[in-house]
């Protein structure tokens, strides 16, 4: 079984019509550029979820960054990050 040893830690190219929270679209309309302030706030938001609801944290994240994110959108992003990290961990141990 062959596995790829290359892993991308940032999103390089656009895969959907929605721009992910923490990124902006480059002028070429294909490349996603990270927004450091939003990504830092998102990291803090994940910690806040240990003691607060998704709705409360989404409201805080929107107020902090100025970019709207719903409670459902935040939940989807957090759960997606969790599944991606477990998938990449499984890939690393499979080598």
Helix (H) or strand (E) holding 63: helix 54-65
Contact between 61 and 69 (Cβ < 8 Å):
yes
In this prediction, residue 22 has a pLDDT band, given cuts at 50, 70 and 90, of very high
User: At residue 11, does pLDDT exceed 80?
Assistant: no
Give pLDDT, residue 82: 76
- Say which residue, 63 or 14, is predicted with more confidence: 63
User: At residue 89, does pLDDT exceed 70?
Assistant: no
Q: How far is CA 30 from CA 12, 26, 57, 61, in A?
A: 8, 7, 30, 26
- pLDDT tens-digit map of 25-82: 999 888 999 999 999 999 999 999 999 999 999 999 999 999 999 999 999 999 988 7
């Amino acid at each position: 079984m062959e596995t790829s040893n290359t892993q991308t830690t940032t999103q390089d190219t656009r895969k959907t019509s929605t721009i992910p929270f923490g990124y902006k679209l480059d002028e070429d309309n294909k490349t996603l550029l990270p927004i450091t302030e939003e990504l830092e706030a998102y990291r803090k938001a994940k910690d806040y979820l240990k003691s607060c609801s998704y709705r409360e944290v989404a409201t805080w994240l929107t107020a902090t960054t100025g970019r709207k994110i719903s409670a459902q959108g935040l939940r989807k992003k957090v759960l997606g990050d969790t599944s991606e990290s477990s998938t990449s961990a499984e890939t690393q141990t499979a080598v």
